[in-house]
């Protein structure tokens, strides 16, 4: 059956391709994994036993390491995962040993606006349903581990209210004196459920819990997801799990999961999730799927564990960072690479002609409304103005000492003059540039991109971090704001300033990484400002601490840890064929 993305929906292409998928055992053999390193979860999906595989491979040489990022996202889409899959397939087409490492999609976006994040057209990760819904249960494990911490906290608060010190001592407990107004965690659910952002719990009598304000966050924003992304092994995960700050006591001291004696049980939920999942591209290249998305409120990277395996099992490992280079790549660069000790050999910046036109001042795009003709007809002036956004991301990557490769993710409406303009601008600013037609042609359409990436990987790099851990927190924030976002400076709310001073005075906190929280829809803190904004300052409204993950988390602007569901969500189009049990309508 010929797969034609101009006539078939993504889920139809995936379903047709799944008939010829490589069995999990064959995929693992292709990577060089041993039988005792495999955990099959069906014919085509499984996990890799990280502990066994990593011990065997600890001295194996490392292949080339490639990160895929993008310009600032627009509703038109840039196709970052599609580009990742296309690049993997393109490298495979020219005979390279290649693997991928991408993030597992969240149920929230999958059933809301974004869709499954498996790629698109002839550049996808399959099997699509497994990838998009449940997979092997990692997100469920994170949900349960996270909520177990909240169970431990709220039950402890109830017992401390109801019992005196002598009664607590009989249960082996001492009074923690938790401040109900300084609870740092919320409950977790992996849907976009705005009605649960702010709730009151514990209503009823004294046996019905401690009554207080609470709420929910989406699971993939949990600190436990960040821990899964950065943990190097089970011992490291166990130590990090004990450091999660759940609340503060009435004297201002931190209450951790270890204080609640729930850290061990939380880790027990996560043991299996430490083993990365193994899936494949439409063309049969292996793809590790591990950890989750949301780089605007979390780290937004595939796991260090998956990347460590991938670079030792293949000549090229293609990983992916969430959103634009200002958010995803910056965290890849200054957090993930610092924690992993693996430096990239090349970085791909994905862009589309039509998205650049929007950054140049093109009209607003809304779902369900036909595109303005400016996005489908040649407009060099609008495009050139929009390329300022691309230049900003090229410059961000270049500051890491790695050669950027701009991928023009091709659409049939792109003209030769428009492509030539973007190529010229990219090359004038130090990037290699390639046009890729992977959505339409799969690996065959990505050969030019693959060759550009190989060329960049063969160049000498001078990888360096934007800041050192000795750099004071506010100086780091200033460096990121000015050098990555293009701000003129930083301002702080009274609360944020107080916390910044507190963290800077604590030697342990002062050396944690800096994980910025900012909108992904703009280089600035304002999601409505496109292009490359000038003459603005970054407002820091709050600063959080994810001590288990190893982050100080400055919050810029109004970011919600629980997204909302739109009026026309994707779940309206998803259904099941009752004869075959196959899911249809995913995109």
| Span 404-453, pLDDT tens digits | 999 999 999 999 999 999 999 999 999 999 999 999 999 999 999 999 99
pLDDT classification of 505: cutoffs 50, 70, 90: very high
Find the catalytic residue in 24, 411, 503, 551.
Answer: 411
Q: List, for residues 17-71, the tens digit of each pLDDT value.
A: 999 999 999 999 999 999 999 999 999 999 999 999 999 999 999 999 999 999 9
Lowest mean pLDDT: which of 148-162, 365-379, 389-403? 365-379
The domain tally of the chain equals 3
Domain boundary among 433, 457, 481: 457
Residue 86 tokens, joined: 């296309």
Structure tokens at 29: 């053999």
Active-site residue flag, 103: yes
Please say if 188 is a catalytic residue.
Answer: no
pLDDT digits 0-9 by tens, 536-568: 999 999 999 999 999 999 999 777 889 899 888
Task: Report DSSP letters for 311-330, one per residue.
Answer: HHHSSEEEEEBSSSIIIIIH
Does residue 4 sit within a domain?
no
Given 17, 118, 231, 295, the catalytic residue:
295
Q: Are residues 196 and 253 located together in one domain of the fold?
A: yes
Residue from 11, 111, 333, 439 carrying the catalytic annotation: 439
**What is the overall mean pLDDT for the chain?**
95
Whether residue 537 is found in the same domain as residue 393: no
Q: Identify the pLDDT of residue 262.
A: 98
Query: Phi first, then psi: what are they for 346, rounded to 5°?
Result: -160, 155
Q: Give the number of other Cβ atoms within 10 Å of residue 32's Cβ.
A: 15
Distance CA 583, CA 282 (A): 18
- Our answer to whether residue 250 is catalytic in this structure is no
Which CATH number do you get for residue 216? 3.30.1510.10
537 is annotated as an active-site residue:
no
Q: Which of 47, 114, 336, 518 is catalytic?
A: 114
User: Above 90 in pLDDT, residue 295?
Assistant: no
- CB 545 within 8 Å of CB 553: yes
| pLDDT band at 1; cut points 50, 70, 90 | low
Residue for token pair 């204080």: 259
- Which of these, 455, 454, 388, lies nearest to 425 by C-alpha position? 388
Residue 223: other Cβ atoms inside 10 A? 29
Helix (H) or strand (E) holding 182: strand 178-183
Asked whether the beta carbons of 523 and 530 are under 8 A apart, the reply is no
Of 198, 217, 185, nearest in space to 562 by CA: 217
Is residue 528 located within the same domain as residue 543? yes
Cβ pair 566, 112 in contact under 8 A: yes
For residue 463, being part of any structural domain is answered with: no
Q: What are phi and psi of 410, to 5 degrees?
A: -75, 140
**Cα separations in angstroms, 477 against 446, 490, 515, 538, 552:** 37, 8, 10, 9, 11
66, 450 in Cβ contact below 8 A?
Answer: no
Q: Can you state the angle between helices 138-162 and 223-230, rounded to 10 degrees? A: 130
- Residue 14: pLDDT above 90? yes
In this prediction, residues 523-528 reach a mean pLDDT of: 95
**Residues 345, 63: Cα–Cα separation, whole Å:** 9
- Mean pLDDT, residues 382-396 taken together: 98
Q: Quick one: average pLDDT of 164-193?
A: 95
Q: Is 231 an active-site residue?
A: no
- Of 432, 457, 482, which one is at a domain's C-terminal end? 457
Kindly report the number of other CB atoms within 10 A of residue 68's CB atom. Answer: 30
| pLDDT confidence of residue 527 | 93
Handedness of CA 467, 472, 476, 478 (dihedral sign): negative
Going by pLDDT thresholds of 50, 70 and 90, the confidence category of residue 367 is low
One domain for residues 439 and 550: no
> Is 82 among the catalytic positions?
yes
Say if 349 falls within a structural domain.
Answer: yes
Q: In whole angstroms, give the CA distance from residue 138 to residue 104.
A: 9
CA distance linking residue 106 with residue 114, whole number of Å: 10
Among 385, 459, 374, CA closest to 422: 385
Cα distance between residue 76 and residue 69, in whole Å: 16
Q: Decide: 289 and 135 in contact? Cβ < 8 Å.
A: yes
Rounded CA gap, 353 and 312, in Å?
Answer: 36
The answer to which of 195-209, 514-528, 553-567 has the lowest mean pLDDT is 553-567
Mean pLDDT of 69-81: 90
Residue 321 domain boundaries: 10-137+273-457
The answer to whether residue 38 sits within a structural domain is yes
Q: Does the pLDDT of residue 280 top 80, yes or no?
A: yes
Q: What b-and-e string marks burial along 83-113, b requiring 16 or more CB atoms within 10 Å of the CB?
A: bbbbbbbbbbbeebbbbbbbbbbbbbbbbbb
CATH number at residue 507: 3.10.410.10
The CATH code of the domain that includes 117 is 3.40.50.300
Q: What does the alpha-carbon distance between residue 340 and residue 323 come to, in Å, rounded to a whole number?
A: 21
436 shares its domain with 496: no
pTM reported for the whole predicted model: 0.95
Q: pLDDT digit string (tens) for 471-497?
A: 999 999 999 999 999 999 999 999 999
Give the pLDDT score at 385. 98
The packing angle between helices 50-57 and 304-313, to 10°, is: 50
Q: Using the 8-state DSSP alphabet, how is residue 61 labeled?
A: P
Q: Are residues 251 and 280 in the same domain?
A: no
Closest CA to 503 of 224, 225, 245: 245
The residue from 47, 64, 96, 103 that is catalytic is 103
Q: Closest Cα to residue 117, out of 83, 140, 142?
A: 83
Do 176 and 63 share a structural domain?
Answer: no
311 falls within a domain: yes
Residue 167 tokens, joined: 């009664």
Q: Is 80 a catalytic residue?
A: yes
- 413 and 306: one domain? yes
Point out the catalytic residue in the list 80, 243, 336, 547. 80
> In terms of domains, do 161 and 14 share one?
no
pLDDT tens for 109-118 read: 889 987 778 8
- Domain match, 185 and 310 both: no
Note whether 100 and 379 are within 8 A (CB). Answer: no
Same domain, 508 and 450: no
70 labelled catalytic: no
Closest CA to 121 of 443, 372, 350: 443
What CA–CA distance (Å, rounded) separates 3 from 141? 36
Examine the domain organization and report whether 350 and 482 are in the same domain: no
Which of 268, 286, 312 is the C-terminal boundary of a domain?
A: 268
Mean pLDDT of 344-349: 98
Q: Is residue 584 domain-resident? A: no
Asked, for residue 391, whether it belongs to a domain, the answer is: yes
Instruction: List the catalytic residue out of 72, 82, 136, 256.
Output: 82
Residue 2 domain-assigned? no
Which listed residue (288, 323, 329, 551) is catalytic? 323
């Amino acid at each position: 059956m010929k797969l034609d993305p101009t006539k078939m929906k993504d889920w139809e292409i995936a379903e047709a391709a799944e008939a010829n998928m490589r069995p999990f055992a064959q995929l693992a053999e292709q990577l060089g994994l041993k039988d005792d390193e495999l955990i099959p979860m069906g014919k085509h999906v499984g996990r890799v036993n990280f502990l066994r595989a990593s011990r065997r491979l600890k001295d194996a040489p490392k292949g080339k390491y490639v990160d895929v990022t993008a310009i600032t996202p627009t509703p038109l889409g840039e196709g970052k995962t599609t580009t990742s899959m296309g690049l993997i397939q393109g490298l495979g087409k020219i005979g390279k040993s290649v693997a991928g490492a991408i993030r597992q999609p969240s149920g929230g976006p999958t059933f809301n606006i974004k869709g499954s994040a498996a790629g698109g057209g002839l550049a996808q990760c399959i099997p699509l349903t497994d990838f998009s819904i449940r997979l092997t249960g990692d997100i469920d494990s994170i949900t349960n581990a996270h909520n177990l911490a909240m169970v431990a906290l709220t039950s402890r608060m109830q017992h401390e209210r109801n019992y005196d010190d002598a009664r607590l001592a009989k249960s082996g407990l001492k009074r923690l004196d938790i401040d109900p107004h300084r609870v740092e965690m919320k409950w977790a659910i992996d849907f976009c459920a705005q009605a649960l952002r702010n709730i009151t719990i514990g209503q009823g009598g004294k046996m019905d819990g401690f009554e207080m304000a609470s709420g929910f966050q989406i699971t993939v924003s949990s600190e436990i997801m960040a821990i899964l992304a950065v943990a190097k092994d089970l011992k490291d995960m166990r130590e990090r799990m004990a450091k999660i700050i759940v609340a503060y006591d009435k004297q201002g001291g931190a209450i951790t999961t270890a204080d609640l004696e729930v850290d061990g049980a939380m880790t027990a939920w996560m043991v299996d999730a430490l083993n990365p999942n193994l899936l494949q591209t439409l063309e049969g290249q292996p793809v590790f799927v591990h950890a989750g998305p949301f780089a605007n409120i979390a780290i937004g990277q595939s796991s260090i564990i998956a990347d460590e395996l991938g670079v030792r099992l293949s000549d090229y490992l293609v990983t992916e960072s969430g959103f634009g280079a200002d958010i995803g790549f910056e965290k890849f660069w200054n957090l993930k690479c610092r924690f992993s000790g693996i430096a990239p050999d090349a970085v791909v910046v994905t862009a589309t002609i039509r998205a650049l036109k929007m950054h140049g001042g093109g009209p607003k795009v809304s779902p369900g409304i036909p595109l303005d003709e400016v996005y489908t007809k040649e407009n060099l002036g609008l495009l050139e103005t929009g390329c300022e956004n691309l230049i900003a991301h090229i410059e961000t990557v270049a500051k890491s000492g790695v050669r950027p490769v701009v991928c023009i993710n091709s659409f049939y409406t792109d003209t030769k003059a428009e492509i030539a303009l973007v190529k010229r601008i990219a090359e004038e600013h130090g990037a290699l540039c390639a046009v890729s037609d992977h959505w339409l042609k799969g690996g065959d359409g990505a050969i030019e991109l693959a060759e550009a990436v190989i060329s960049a990987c063969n160049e000498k790099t001078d990888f360096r971090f934007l800041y050192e851990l000795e750099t004071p927190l506010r100086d780091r924030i200033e460096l990121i704001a000015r050098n990555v976002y293009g701000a003129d400076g930083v301002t702080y709310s009274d609360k944020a300033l107080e916390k910044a001073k507190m963290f800077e005075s604590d030697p342990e906190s002062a050396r944690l990484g800096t994980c910025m929280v900012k909108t992904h829809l703009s280089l600035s803190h304002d999601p409505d400002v496109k292009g490359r904004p000038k003459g603005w300052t970054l407002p820091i409204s709050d600063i959080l601490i994810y001590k288990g993950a190893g982050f100080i988390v400055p919050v810029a602007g109004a970011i919600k840890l629980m997204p909302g569901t739109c009026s026309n969500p994707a779940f309206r189009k998803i259904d099941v064929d009752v004869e075959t049990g196959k899911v249809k309508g995913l995109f």
